[in-house]
Chains A and B, each alone.
Chain A
Amino acid sequence: MGVIKSMKHEDFKDNESLDQMMLENQGIFFSTIDKLVNWGRSNSIWPLTFATSCCGIEMMAAGAARHDFSRFGMEVYRASPRQADVIVVAGTIVNKMAPVLKRLYDQMADPKYVIAMGACAISGGPFYYNTYHVVKGVEHVIPVDVYIPGCPPRPEALLYGFLQLQRKMKTESLKNGYIKKNAEDYDVNVSK
C-alpha cells in the first residue's frame, strides 16, 4: 500500500494500527503543510541522555561508530529535557526514580514522545517477581509510544524502534496540535 512514501509498509510490522492512526488524523486543509512539518519533525528527533542501566550501554552503542543512528537524524543527545523531543527510558525504573522520570517528562516541551527500551521499562522484566522496589512498566508513570523488547535490545532493535516512531510522527496532523495524551492522568503512585 505504502501510505508514507519514504517508509514502505512491507518493510515494517504493525501496519494496522498505523493505518488506523492515519484515518483518525487525516485532514483536508492541512495535509500538505502536515507533510512538510512532519518531514522536518520526524527527521530531527533529539533524544534525552537518560540511561539508568544496561540498556543505556546499548543506546550508546547505537549512537557510536558502527550503528550510527545519526543517519536517521537522531544524532544530538541532549542533556536537558527542555531541548529534547524523545525520552528513551533505557533501563529499570524503581520507585525512588519514578517521580524524577515524571518530572523530566513534564519538563519536556510538546510534542514529546517516549520509547520504552528493554524488558524493565516495558514490564519490570527480570525484576518483576519477588521485588518490592521496581515500577512494573514505565507506562504506570508516563505514556509510552513505542515499546522495544529485549534484555537488553540490540542497537538494531533500537533503530527499528526509532523508525517506527518516525512513521508514527508522520501520521500526525497539525489540527490536533500534536497533543493527544493527557499527562495528568498518570499518577506516580501507581506502581504495584
Chain B
Amino acid sequence: MEGVLPINQVVSEVEQQEYIINMGPQHPSTHGVLRFLLSLKGEVVQYVQPHCGYIHRGIEKMTEKITYPQIIHLTDRLDYLSAHMNNEAVSLCVENALQIEVPERVKYIRTIMAELSRLASHQLWWAAFGMDLGALTTFFYGLRDREYILDIFEQTTGSRLTQSYNCPGGLMNDIHPDFQKKVKEFIKNFRKVLPEYNQLLTGNVIFHERTKGIGLLSKEDAISFGVTGPSGRGSGFSCDLRKSHPYSAYDKVDFKEILYTEGDTFARYQVRMDEMLESMNIIEQLIDNIPEGDYALKMKAIIKLPEGEYYQRVESARGEFGVHIISDGNKNPYRVKFRSPNFSNLSAIDSMARGFKIADLVAISGSLDLVIPDLDK
C-alpha cells in the first residue's frame, strides 16, 4: 500500500486548507436575502463577510419626494415585524419638530400597541430560531400564538402586518370597542403558554449544547459595534431606551430592564424570553387605565417642519431605531436617515462567529434576529 497516505494525514491536510464558500442570498437560515462569504478551515469559520443590498429598496431616497404623513407607509415596510415602533419614531420626530404634545390616550395606546408588536415579533423569532436549530415544533407553537395578536391588530387597524396605525399627531383611528377585552384574554392565555415554550426549548439539553458558550460577544465589543436591543443586553450593555430615555407612556409604567452578562447565544435567547414577560407586565399596567379623550390632534392638511435637524429614537423589537430628519421648511423632507438596529447588529457577526463551527453561525445569526429589509433599507 505504498503511496496511500494514512487517514490521519489526509484529514489534517484538508483541515489546513482554507476555502471560501458562499451562504445565501437564497438560504433558509439567513431569514431573507442576506449573503455571507465564509472562509473555512475544515468546519471552523475563519472570517465572515456579509454582503448587503439584495433587498435595497431606496426607502431613504423615496422619502425625499413624499410628505411627512406618507413616510409612515414606508417605515412599515422597513422592519415589518416592529411596524408600530418604526411609525412611532417617525410620528414622534415630526411631533417634536412641530413642538406639539399628543393626548394622553394616544400615548397609552401607542405603548400598548408597541408592546403587542414586540410580543408578536419575539414569538416569531422564537419560532424561527427553534427551526434554525432543527426543532420544527417551535415553528407551529410560536406562529399559533402570534395569530391571536394579529387578530387584535386586524380588528383595530385593519391590517395584520403593515398597520400604519401611528401617524404624526396621533392615531389613524380609535381602538375597537373589544380591544381591551381581547388584549386581556390574550395575556391571560399567553401567561399559560409561555411556560410551555420554556419546557419545549429552554431546558432542552441539545439546545443548551448548541447555544451555551457559542457566539461570544463582550460588552466592549457590543458597545463599539453599536449592538443594541436584546442582542446588546445579552452582553450586559444596558441600552433599553424605554428605561433610559422614556417616550410615550413608558415613564408611567414599572418594568425592569433585562440584562444578562454571559454574551453568548443562550443569553440573547433568555433576554428575549424574559422580555416577553415584561411586555405583558407593561400591557397589564396600561390596559385598564387608557384615559378618555381624542385619538388624534387636528393637524394641518399639509405638514411643514421648520428648518433644522431632528432626531428621535425608539426601542424597536431588535434595538435602537432612529429617525434623523433634515428639513428645509418644505412639505417634503430634505433628507431622512434611518438608523436601523439590524445593520449595526450584523456588523458584529464576524467577531462573534470566528473560531466557531459553520453550524454555529446559523445559531448566531438566528440569535441576532435579523430582518433583512430593515438592514438594507
Contact = CB atoms under 8 A, between A and B. Distances in A.
Contacts of B161: 54, 57-58, 152
A29 interface: no
Nearest to A66: B147
Interface string A128-155: 0111111000000000000000011010
B139 A64 contact: yes
A126 B32 contact: no
A164 interface: no
Given A133-B56, A151-B162, A64 B144 contact: yes
Contact of B56 (A49, A54, A96, A151): A96
A94 B160 CA distance: 25
A92 interface: yes
B77 A133 contact: no
B81 A57 contact: yes
Interface in A48-79: 48-54, 56-58, 60-61, 64-66, 77, 79
B33 A134 contact: no
Contacts of B160: 58, 152, 154
Contacts of B74: 126
Interface centre among A96, A130, A154 (most CB of B within 10 A): A96
Contact of B55 (A79, A94, A129, A130): A94
Interface in B13-57: 25-28, 32-33, 53-57
A81 B28 CA distance: 12
A133 B52 CA distance: 14
A128 to B, nearest CB: 10
Interface in B208-234: none
Given A53-B32, A53-B80, A126-B77, A133 B57 contact: yes
Contacts, number: 105
B202 to A, nearest CB: 21
Interface string B51-74: 001111110011001100000011
Nearest to A107: B26
B333 interface: no
B179 interface: no
B58 A134 contact: yes
B249 interface: no
B55 A92 contact: yes
Contact of A152 (B58, B127, B139, B162): B162
Interface size for chain A: under 10, 10 to 19, 20 to 34, or 35 or more residues?
Answer: 35 or more
Interface size for chain B: under 10, 10 to 19, 20 to 34, or 35 or more residues?
Answer: 35 or more
Contact of A96 (B54, B124, B141, B146): B54
Contact of A50 (B26, B55, B61): B26
A132 B81 CA distance: 25
A94 B54 contact: yes
A162 to B, nearest CB: 18
Contacts of B57: 92, 94, 127, 131, 133-134
Given A53-B373, A152-B161, A129 B65 contact: yes
Contacts of B146: 61
Contacts of B128: 60
Contacts of A127: 57-58, 62
Contact of B162 (A54, A96, A132, A134): A54
A97 interface: yes
A186 to B, nearest CB: 18
A100 interface: yes
A79 B32 contact: no
A179 to B, nearest CB: 24
Contacts of B55: 52-53, 91-92, 94, 97
Nearest to B83: A54
Interface string B363-377: 000000000110000
Contacts of B28: 49, 77, 79
Contacts of B26: 48-50, 81, 100, 104
Given A58-B160, A65-B143, A130-B62, A53 B27 contact: no
B147 A130 contact: no
Interface of B: 25-28, 32-33, 53-58, 61-62, 65-66, 73-74, 77, 80-81, 124, 127-128, 139-141, 143-144, 146-147, 150, 160-162, 372-373
7 contacts: A49-B26, A53-B32, A65-B141, A94-B54, A97-B25, A129-B62, A130-B66
Given A64-B143, A92-B55, 7 more contacts: A52-B373, A53-B77, A57-B124, A61-B150, A129-B62, A133-B56, A152-B160
